[in-house]
Amino acid sequence: MLVLSSHTRTSHIIREHLRIATVYQRRLIYVWVAGEDLAELLPEAVSESAALDVIDARETRYKLALDELVICLQKETGVSSSTLL
């Protein structure tokens, strides 16, 4: 999971983590928490990618985004909701 904010695009640490995720072919879920233009927030290497899993968690969508994130994590790990609680 990668939280997208105004600092994401310029972070060296995030760039390194994305490189490692690519090496290990890991699926990423992007959680959009701030900003109006998603393309401006995505790291450069990611913005060229065709398929993105983005959860909009801005303002009023926050509660829904938490539910969406739980569903994504359940699918990824195979863990049921009762186990997460």
SS (H, E, C) 21-48: HHHCCCCCEEEECCCCCHHHHCCHHHHC
Q: Say if CB 2 and CB 30 are below 8 A apart.
A: yes
**pLDDT, tens only, 25-76:** 888 889 999 888 888 888 876 655 556 789 999 999 999 999 999 998 888 7
Given a cut of 70, whether residue 5 has pLDDT beyond it is yes
* Residue with the two structure tokens 């060229």: 48
Higher-confidence residue of 61 and 7: namely 61
Length in residues, the chain: 85
Which pair of tokens denotes residue 38? 């998603």
* Residue with the two structure tokens 């992007």: 30
Count of domains for the chain: 1
Given a cut of 70, whether residue 11 has pLDDT beyond it is yes
The domain of 69 spans 2-84
- pTM over the 0.85 mark: no
Looking at residue 75, its pLDDT comes to 82
Per-residue pLDDT, averaged over 76-83, amounts to: 67
DSSP letter assigned to residue 50: S
